[in-house]
Amino acid sequence: MGPEKEIVELWLNRKGFFTIKDINAGSRVIDMVAIKQDKTSKIAHVEVACYVSGSIATKASDLMRKFNSAAVVKKIRQTIKEHIGAETEYEKFLITTVPNINLDGVNVIGFDKVLFEFVNNLDKQYYSNNVTRTLQLVKFILMSNPSYIAKLIGKEHDYKAFTSSAREQFIRDLFEQDVAKKIFSKKSNEELMIELLKNSTLKNPESLASALDKILTKRTATKFLNTLLKQKGIKTSIKPKIKNKTLQQFVEV
């Protein structure tokens, strides 16, 4: 069983499911059957289809055969009866990296969601399972080094993890978090903010003025203008007719 299937199995185990894996069904091998018996039994046929390369073409019809083949359905029902003592209905789940795929009667879950949930819940205790231990090392060793993470995300190279659009979305999501707002509220990061503004659309005077209108109150706007007019170079660049106005007249325009 490949590591991606083992990750799915470990994820299901953490959710309280008992799993039977690699079940032979004629010419096919069923990835796993997951059974959870509590107040209401939950039974699922789970298939995993994960690809790192985006160039692999996967047809929905090929994936459907993993669930609807007569030999597969027969073996699933037989396996369920062997483990719970009776035939019963079951759900179908596909865990996959294939985007925007819909299969009739099959619940589709992104493998990235499964991977995130599993890694997010990893603590620092020692794990003997090789897959769990590997993911633990990635989380607490690699991801704890900001420089390496920045290089993985930002660098353009042959084996980059992010596309340009994904990298942009990552930065947007990061900036929307409260932790980012706290970081940029520190005076020590003002120079970084200035560099960001220099390379943003806010270097356009009209855009900057519009942004300041949303940021400043009437009181802070007056203080801002008063401070701005004292800055070196500002007095020599403003027009005489604006320069000769009082501050109150300037604010009321």
Mean pLDDT per 10-residue section of the chain, whose length is 253 residues: 93 96 95 90 94 70 92 96 92 94 94 97 96 97 90 72 80 84 85 86 87 87 83 64 55 55
Structure tokens at 82: 């062997």
As a whole number of angstroms, the distance between CA 4 and CA 110 comes to: 12
Task: Count other C-beta atoms under 10 Å from residue 239's C-beta.
Answer: 8
Global pTM reads 0.74
pLDDT at 77: 96
* 36: amino acid identity, one letter: K
Q: Which domains does the chain have, with CATH numbers?
A: 3-120 (3.40.1350.10), 145-176 (no CATH), 187-215 (no CATH), 216-253 (no CATH)
pLDDT at 189: 86
Which of 98, 5, 11, 8 shows the shortest CA–CA distance to 52? 98
Report whether 119 contacts 139 (CB < 8 A): yes
Side-chain half-sphere CA neighbours of 45 within 13 A: 27
pLDDT at 56: 54
Which of 27, 36, 31, 42 shows the shortest CA–CA distance to 6? 31
